[in-house]
Structure 1
Amino acid sequence: MTIYTVNAGDSVNSIAAAYSISPDSIIYNNQLSSPYQLAVGQALLLSTGESPTEKRTIYTNGYAYPFINEFTLTETLPYLTNLSIFSYGFTTTGELVPPPLDDTWMIALAKEAGTAPILTLTPFGPDGMFNNNLITVVVNNMEIQQNLIDNLLEMVSQKGYEGVDIDFEYILAEDRVPFAEFVANVRTAVNALGYPVSVALAPKTSDDQPGLLYGGKDYGLLGAAADNVLLMTYEWGYTYGPPMAVAPINRVREVVDYAITRIPVDKINLGIPNYGYDWPLPYERGVTGARTISNTEAVQIAIDNNVPIQFDEVAMSPFFTYERDGIAHEVWFEDVRSMREKFNLINEYELRGAGYWQIMNLFRANWLLLADTFNIIKQ
């Protein structure tokens, strides 16, 4: 496939004619809406020939909530090895708290597509937020921990899950070792059913990186404890932070460079964001909050406001600014150029695969490029 950057005066028809391809294929690949306007600087994925014959084989995972649109899920499942359903919480006694909406339909669709449904375990408190007190209780009290593991095994068997993903955040530094031991204990139990256990890791660049996100995540211990790991290499640009790329490739590379010194490369999945942010300006810390948008929505905002899309050659990410109702905005998002950089990183380091947070919005061009770049493991 070819990535084409739109120039002034381009149209779908003129690009199609230049590459001797169907206009409909451009519209389909890039989810263009009638009347099929384009933004200068927009990256389009063009189907111009056969896929390469020599491709690495990788694992892929996507997180999704049970309120995902069925069409979006059905369109995405062919490109996923695993579907991590978000999420199951637990109580201070080790009882599981299922997601508020039914997840059985997602499990069924995943199995039909040859995708393994994965139970995602999170330490959510009553307010729906990560609660490190819950983590402390379960990793340090073996009776409660065993009850949680027993309930996990029962739920996996009852609903037909085919693995467990442990996504704990804000782990206290003093729980670093007990948390790794907990992951190892879950792995032993779930492996006995024939299924894997993965763990999500905050994006560290050193052993002693300060901060609540990092102190409780020991890359070496957790890499040994789990079957595989997800590097959460996103959220540099985030809702309450200053405008910047969500996953700048230079920062992502720093995390990978550190991770491979602590974890075997064939256990590492690179985290990839499937979203962007729209910040109102001027940015004021503690006051300004960005709006989360899909990647296709970002492009439509640029088109609607007749502004060009720019590309940061350091972050290797697209961005643009616009003004609406007297308020300036700055938008950062992902396109096929930024995704290609992440795929190149997976190839360069020979990583296990990719994990997407999250797949709630369809980004067809990404999936087509992924399949053009890699062979994807299916059941």
Structure 2
Amino acid sequence: MKRSAWLLIAMLVCSTVCAKQPDALFYLMGSQKSVNSFVAHVDKIGLLVPTWYGVDNQGLVSGGPNLYVLNIAKDHRLPVMPIISMSAGRKGFHDLLHDEIAKQHMIEAMLQQAAEHGYTGFQFDFESISWTDRDAYTLLVKQTAEALHKRGFKLSIAVVPNAPGHAGVGPFSKWMWQYWRGAYDVAVLGKYADLICLMTYDQHTRWTTPGPVDGMPWMQAQLTYALTIVPKDKLSLGIALYGYHWYTGDPVREDGTEASNIKADYIDADESFPLAEQQQANVQWDSVEHESWYYFYRDDMREWVFMPDAHSFRDRYALITQYGLEGFCAWVLGAEDPKVWDELPVAKR
């Protein structure tokens, strides 16, 4: 057989065998069930991102690791990249962004904590930011990334998906752009950060009417847009492991006035599956949105539950290979359908 033929065969084999395993990033909260899920499935997690740190408007970083979790991660050679988020609200974050001394305090604390605990770096998870602070946030990312990189650490950023790149038509879309989507200059952030976690979930929330948590058409539209401005090897697809439960709340406010009150709460698999059984609900599969859902009546009023499960996870996991992405970022450990883990390989370290 000619050498060229052997090379072709080797390339074809390597395209399937040597392909990089998608990185499985999982977020960890402080709840016991989140920790339990981590312990049970540590070998299938590629990067652990715990919610351990916050920063205030003066740059004071507070928090620290769960040493039980951290030691298990080290024993399994699992990299840890904690979240740092804002603890002082939108106004507090605005103040931080425009205070060079406060920013330096924050960066120095991040460097100290990363070195002390052996983190691979940090993830910025700053949300509810005014669109007018877009450039100031980009500058903070640049300054932080440069400082971390100089010391051998990485910076990842969680961003709210913002296709089509501007405010939409209705008032809700305008509000979303003002305080959620508009603050992320994703193209520039992708140049400074080592990884962009695209939060392709919360399409429908407590702020909206009932609907899928991360419907497939919406997710693909957001992903397609993001890929026009961020290299695919820096892009991690957000996958929701939790659901929402919509119902009618108390119409009487604390001050005695009355108003419509449609409520929506987070609901995890350990609650949504039993609730469907208790209410004898017919769990349905939406073949367009690729998400399971059901409804039932209580006090003659319909309640809705949208519940990402192993089926919906499998379909979204397939997108990573289809688009050649770096991997996925799943919120949050402890919320998942246990069968999700059957869809994942053991992580390569």
Taking the aligned partners of 1:277 and 1:88, their CA distance within structure 2 comes to: 26
Taking the aligned partners of 1:291 and 1:93, their CA distance within structure 2 comes to: 32
Q: 1:302 aligns with which of 268, 276, 280?
A: 276
Query: Contact (CA 8 Å) 1:282, 1:328: kept in 2 or not?
Result: no
Percentage of identical aligned residues: 22
Q: Corresponding residue for 1:106?
A: 69
Q: How far did 1:165 drift?
A: 0.2
What is the one-letter code of the residue matched to 1:137? D
Q: 1:68 aligns with which of 32, 56, 74?
A: 32
What is the one-letter code of the residue matched to 1:150? E
Taking the aligned partners of 1:74 and 1:253, their CA distance within structure 2 comes to: 32
Q: Corresponding residue for 1:29?
A: none
Q: How far did 1:218 drift?
A: 0.7
Q: Corresponding residue for 1:292?
A: 266
The 1:116/1:314 distance shift into structure 2, 3 A limit, reads same
RMSD: 2.3
Q: 1:312 aligns with which of 286, 289, 292?
A: 286
Query: Contact (CA 8 Å) 2:186, 2:229: kept in 1 or not?
Result: yes
Q: How far did 1:153 drift?
A: 0.7
Query: Contact (CA 8 Å) 2:86, 2:93: kept in 1 or not?
Result: yes
Query: Contact (CA 8 Å) 1:136, 1:175: kept in 2 or not?
Result: yes
Taking the aligned partners of 1:318 and 1:54, their CA distance within structure 2 comes to: 34
Which residues in structure 2 correspond to 1:41-120 (within 5 Å)? 56-69=20-33, 70-98=35-63, 103-120=66-83
Taking the aligned partners of 1:139 and 1:81, their CA distance within structure 2 comes to: 32
Q: How far did 1:246 drift?
A: 0.4
Q: How far did 1:53 drift?
A: 6.4
SS in structure 2 opposite 1:122? strand
Point out where structure 1 has 5 or more consecutive residues left out of the alignment. Answer: 1-51, 126-130
What is the one-letter code of the residue matched to 1:135? F
Q: Corresponding residue for 2:140?
A: 182
Taking the aligned partners of 1:235 and 1:185, their CA distance within structure 2 comes to: 29
Q: Alpha-carbon deviations, 1:33-62, whole Å to 9, x = none?
A: xxxxxxxxxxxxxxxxxxx96865111211
- Residue 270 (str. 1) matches residue 237 (str. 2): yes
What is the one-letter code of the residue matched to 2:80? P
What is the one-letter code of the residue matched to 1:95? L
The 1:53/1:265 distance shift into structure 2, 3 A limit, reads closer
Q: Per residue, is there more helix in 1 or in 2?
A: 2
SS in structure 2 opposite 1:359? coil
Taking the aligned partners of 1:135 and 1:278, their CA distance within structure 2 comes to: 31
SS in structure 1 opposite 2:86? coil
Q: Corresponding residue for 2:226?
A: 259
Query: Contact (CA 8 Å) 1:56, 1:347: kept in 2 or not?
Result: no
Q: Corresponding residue for 1:363?
A: 337
Q: Corresponding residue for 1:26?
A: none
Q: How far did 1:184 drift?
A: 1.9
SS in structure 2 opposite 1:200? strand
Query: Contact (CA 8 Å) 1:119, 1:163: kept in 2 or not?
Result: yes
Q: How far did 1:368 drift?
A: 1.6
SS in structure 2 opposite 1:198? strand
Q: How far did 1:172 drift?
A: 2.1
- Residue 235 (str. 1) matches residue 202 (str. 2): yes
SS in structure 2 opposite 1:245? coil
Q: How far did 1:140 drift?
A: 2.5
SS in structure 1 opposite 2:344? helix
Q: How far did 1:180 drift?
A: 1.4
Taking the aligned partners of 1:283 and 1:230, their CA distance within structure 2 comes to: 36
Q: How far did 1:193 drift?
A: 3.0
SS in structure 2 opposite 1:292? strand
Q: How far did 1:361 drift?
A: 3.1
Provide the aligned length of Structure 1 versus Structure 2: 317
The 1:319/1:106 distance shift into structure 2, 3 A limit, reads same
Taking the aligned partners of 1:352 and 1:254, their CA distance within structure 2 comes to: 18
What is the one-letter code of the residue matched to 1:241? T
Taking the aligned partners of 1:151 and 1:313, their CA distance within structure 2 comes to: 47
Taking the aligned partners of 2:305 and 2:36, their CA distance within structure 1 comes to: 27
Q: Alpha-carbon deviations, 1:51-95, whole Å to 9, x = none?
A: x96865111211112233343221132221111111311222211
